[in-house]
A and B are shown apart, each in its own frame.
Chain A
Amino acid sequence: MKTRLKVFFPLGLLVVLVLLLPITVMIIASFQSADGSFSLENYHQVVSTRYYTEAIRNSLAISLVASVISLIIAIIGAWALTRLAPKTKNILISLFNMSSSFAGVPLAFSLIILFGNAGIWQALMTALHLPRTFEIYSLSGTTLAYTFFEVPLGIMFLFPVFEELNPEWKEISSVLGAKPMFFFKKVIFPVVLPNIVEVFTLLFANAMGTYETTFALTGNSLVTIPTLIGTLIDGGLTANVPLACTFATLFALVMTAIVWLGNRVTRSKREVKA
């Protein structure tokens, strides 16, 4: 028992100090009014102020579109990756890993060079006498930016799942006379679907929590839940930490529920298997 305590002590201390305590305090603060008494005033503000509901709508729109598109590309990419030689696979996985850590300020900056007002894309459009069709600082531009880290992330999650699919299944089913479409619908799809759902929830949650890329790309001109929280914490005169706590509490609750559900889908499948 004593050694067990020693083993868990550092991690336990870390989790209590910078996770449990701050999150508890944050949740409590979200229910406090300006004079410190219990109230739902902050929550009322979140749903009734237009600027705040716009942040929620923007976040949901960008994250849904970015994660659906990225998921589709990642499914195709992860499948393609399983078809390559083992050595190439390892190198490519490291590269995908690297490109997902390129997210944030560097990514935003690169995209501004490419698509910004003085960027290459605009120069190309002007040279070809085409109208300006694409604005990187907009909703769709931000959505595009998210795919640059969501796609590699999706591939890294999905690749191990696809790699585990047994190629013999296909032979067996074709020996038994199944058509490829039937095989796909009745064998591959049921096995892979729960994992795809889980990866979708993770990609969605990841997009919802993205602050760095959005902030570096659009400043505070495009408001999402994370950039709004950033302003509420950091904004000098407009700072309102209890309100930031309210947004953060809502975010943490909803995301925990979504990720937990996504996790459950795969776990129930695993239990059936066992």
Chain B
Amino acid sequence: MSPKASTRVARGIITFLFIYLATPIVVTMIYSFSTSWVKTILPNGLTLKWYSQLVASPEFMAVLLRSFSLGLLTTLIAMACFLPVVFYANVYNPKVKSHLRFITVLPFTIPGIILVTGLIQLYAELPIPKIIILVLAISLLSLPLTYQALDNAFIGRDFRAMFEQALVLGDSPFKAFVKVIIPNIRAGVLVAMLLTFTSAFGEYVLTNLLLGGNFETLKIYMYRLMRSNGQASSVLTTIYFIFLAFISLILILIMQHYSAPHKSTKEGAKK
């Protein structure tokens, strides 16, 4: 295969994959705008009434608020747990990293359904609010995302020198970290925060099984609607998808914005 032909083949494959992965999403979007679409190939008509109905319902706002707070709390806890460790591992003791690797495979060896079994066995009878356990457990399961995004932020610069200069100039370690390190890794921190937030915002397994559906978050609401009112559920799914797309767009923009000057310094060093 000549390079040109293989590029054409590659484009074809990617287009095909894209259509395959996007079809369910596109169909759900059309469904949310259709008056009714049962046992027909095309919807009967188009309407916006399902949107106004869902958005006007008081449940919807309450659900969003719950998921939003869950996302925010989880993000804060994940950052508090990992920022210092990733900084320390990258700057002072790279050996720690090999021990942290177990965290990156955690969602595969102990997925949510397994973790929740242990959590229920341990905490079901204890007088600790389940919501606290929930937030901590979601933070733990989002750690791989947080870890990888933060770890990437430390590539390519001498943070040790920066940090130690600030210490020499009389800052306390905490102050030096906030004033000197954070501004330099802010893109990575932002990416990590967005990814953590998104995963907590759409959490289902832990929330549903640990709190027994008493704390209705986005996905639990979505599941309930799916069983009772397909149109409303499709609206919620579409809104959730737009939210995910929006987050992805921000991530793409951050990466493009911050990777561009990075490359030029690399090339500058080569010269």
**Could you list which residues of chain A lie within 8 angstroms of chain B, going by C-beta atoms?**
3-4, 6-8, 10-11, 14-15, 17-19, 21-23, 25-26, 29, 73, 76-77, 79-84, 87, 90-92, 94-99, 101-102, 104-114, 118, 120, 122-124, 126-127, 148, 151-152, 202, 205-206, 209-212, 216, 226, 229-230, 233-234, 241-242, 244-245, 247-248, 251-252, 255-256, 259, 263
Contacts and interface: CB of A to CB of B under 8 A. Distances in A.
Contacts of A76: 13
Contacts of B106: 19
A156 to B, nearest CB: 11
Given A7-B84, A94-B251, A255-B109, A105 B219 contact: yes
Interface of B: 6-7, 9-11, 13-14, 17-18, 20-25, 27-28, 31, 37-41, 77, 80-82, 84-85, 87-88, 105-124, 133, 136-137, 139-140, 173, 198-199, 202, 204-205, 209, 212, 219, 222-223, 226, 230, 233-234, 237, 240-241, 244-245, 247-248, 251-252, 255-256
Contacts of B204: 104-105, 212
Given A22-B122, A97-B248, A114-B27, A104 B109 contact: no
Contact of A83 (B10, B122, B219, B256): B10
Contact of A245 (B23, B117, B237): B117
Nearest to A250: B114
A73 B18 CA distance: 12
A7 B24 contact: no
Given A152-B21, A209-B114, A101 B202 contact: yes
Contacts of A4: 88
A-side binding surface: helix, strand, loop or mixed? helix
Given A101-B244, A151-B21, A248 B81 contact: no
Contacts of B37: 113, 120
Contacts of B241: 102, 106
A118 B127 CA distance: 46
A259 B109 contact: yes
The 9 closest A-B pairs by CB, nearest first: A209-B111, A22-B118, A110-B24, A26-B118, A83-B10, A80-B10, A80-B13, A248-B117, A205-B108
Given A101-B198, A202-B108, 16 more contacts: A8-B84, A14-B81, A18-B137, A22-B115, A22-B118, A73-B17, A81-B14, A102-B25, A104-B219, A107-B24, A109-B233, A123-B39, A151-B17, A211-B113, A247-B117, A252-B114
A113 B121 contact: no
A263 B223 CA distance: 36
Contact of B222 (A11, A106, A122, A244): A106
B141 to A, nearest CB: 9
Contacts of B205: 211-212
Given A25-B118, A101-B244, A256-B109, A148 B209 contact: no
A134 to B, nearest CB: 14
B140 A241 contact: no
Nearest to B30: A113
A244 B120 CA distance: 10
Contacts of A10: 77, 80-81, 84
B139 A3 contact: no
Contacts of A123: 39-41
Contacts of A87: 256
B229 to A, nearest CB: 12
B79 to A, nearest CB: 10
A109 B244 contact: no
Contacts of B237: 106, 109-110
B122 A77 contact: no
Contacts of A148: 21, 24
A197 to B, nearest CB: 14
A109 B199 CA distance: 19
Given A6-B84, A14-B139, A15-B140, A90 B24 contact: no
Contacts of A114: 23-24, 27
A99 B10 contact: no
Nearest to A77: B17
